[in-house]
């Protein structure tokens, strides 16, 4: 049984920084993980790249040869990856053991995990290869400055959750850059009535029913919640990793070591 994280989220949410910090933390505690680059436009890395999509296809080559723009070129690259799952990806995965832990650093184009099937099919391929897969959705904490942006972030996360159909952990990144963390407390442990009141104050009256439906979706079904991540604190990284490990049942299939307490026979 292998284990995998799909690290997704909007551009600039800190995915590569998260992957780098996670690798450094695991190296410190003596745990082995392999970080995979799935961004064909990436250039610099702060972690050793275990697999690199640019060995299959790169955005610069696609833009030059096909005359596509950045977004169109990236979608072409990812669709090419989807067509190469049984070839390139299978061959790369053969280099790893059954119990290896892979972290996939994905591109930030939101359509990849909101309404096109590329990453969903990618995850399905991993599951067929006997991997437990978890989606790790990152959202920049500095984006959460008021209730409307919080609800927007929740809906984007929920869209990815529905599209990918995977165990899902939402992480609020860049907490180390937040000057007043009290501003975020209302969103980490939200009170539905306070959120609804704030939302109704900022929106026109005709959106009152829609506002209530959105708040009920977040509150009653407890479908979207965020775990704060402060990269300055090892305890924060450790806690986030524990949440993800729990989602993918990491280590639960390990053999239980039982000590033999039977007394030795007297000679």
Q: How far apart are CA 198 and CA 147, in angstroms?
A: 7
Q: Is residue 198 part of a domain?
A: no
- pLDDT score recorded for residue 256: 43
CATH of the domain at 243: 3.40.50.300
Q: Is residue 185 part of a domain?
A: no
Quickly tell me which residue has 């005709």 as its tokens. Answer: 206
Quickly tell me which residue has 């275990």 as its tokens. Answer: 50
Q: Report the length, in residues, of the chain.
A: 267
Q: Is residue 110 part of a domain?
A: yes
Q: How far apart are CA 9 and CA 140, in angstroms?
A: 9
Q: Are strands 49-52 and 2-8 parallel, antiparallel or unpaired?
A: unpaired
Q: Is residue 172 part of a domain?
A: yes
Q: Is residue 7 part of a domain?
A: yes
Global pTM value: 0.88
- pLDDT score recorded for residue 253: 58
Low-confidence ranges of the chain (pLDDT < 50): 255-267
Q: Is residue 234 part of a domain?
A: yes
What is the span of the domain harbouring residue 165? Answer: 2-180+224-247
What digits encode the pLDDT tens for the residues 174-199?
988 887 777 777 787 778 888 889 88
- pLDDT score recorded for residue 225: 79
Burial category of 205 from C-beta neighbours within 10 Å (exposed 0-12, middle 13-18, buried 19 and up): exposed
Q: How many domains does the chain divide into?
A: 1
Task: Count Cβ atoms below 10 Å from residue 108 Cβ, excluding itself.
Answer: 18
């Amino acid at each position: 049984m292998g284990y995998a994280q799909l690290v997704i989220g909007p551009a600039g949410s800190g995915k590569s920084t998260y992957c780098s910090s996670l690798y450094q933390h695991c190296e410190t505690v003596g745990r082995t993980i392999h970080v995979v680059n799935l961004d064909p436009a990436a250039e610099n890395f702060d972690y050793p790249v275990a697999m690199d999509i640019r060995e299959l296809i790169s955005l610069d080559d696609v833009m030059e040869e096909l005359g596509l723009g950045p977004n169109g070129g990236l979608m072409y690259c990812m669709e090419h990856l989807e067509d190469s799952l049984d070839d390139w990806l299978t061959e790369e995965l053969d280099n790893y053991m059954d119990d290896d832990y892979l972290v996939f650093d994905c591109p930030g184009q939101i359509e990849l995990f909101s309404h096109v099937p590329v990453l969903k099919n990618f995850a399905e391929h991993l599951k067929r290869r006997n991997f437990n897969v978890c989606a790790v959705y990152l959202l920049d904490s500095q984006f959460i400055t008021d209730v409307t942006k919080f609800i927007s972030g929740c809906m984007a996360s929920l869209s990815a959750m529905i599209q990918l159909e995977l165990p899902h952990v939402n992480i609020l990144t860049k907490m180390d850059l937040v000057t007043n963390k009290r501003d975020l407390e209302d969103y980490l442990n939200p009170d539905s009535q306070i959120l609804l009141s704030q939302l109704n104050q900022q929106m026109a009256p005709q959106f009152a029913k829609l506002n209530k439906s959105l708040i009920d979706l977040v509150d009653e079904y407890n479908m979207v919640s965020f775990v704060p991540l402060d990269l300055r604190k090892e305890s924060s990284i450790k806690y986030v990793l524990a949440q993800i490990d729990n989602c993918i049942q990491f280590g639960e299939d390990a053999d239980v070591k039982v000590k033999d307490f039977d007394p030795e026979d007297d000679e």
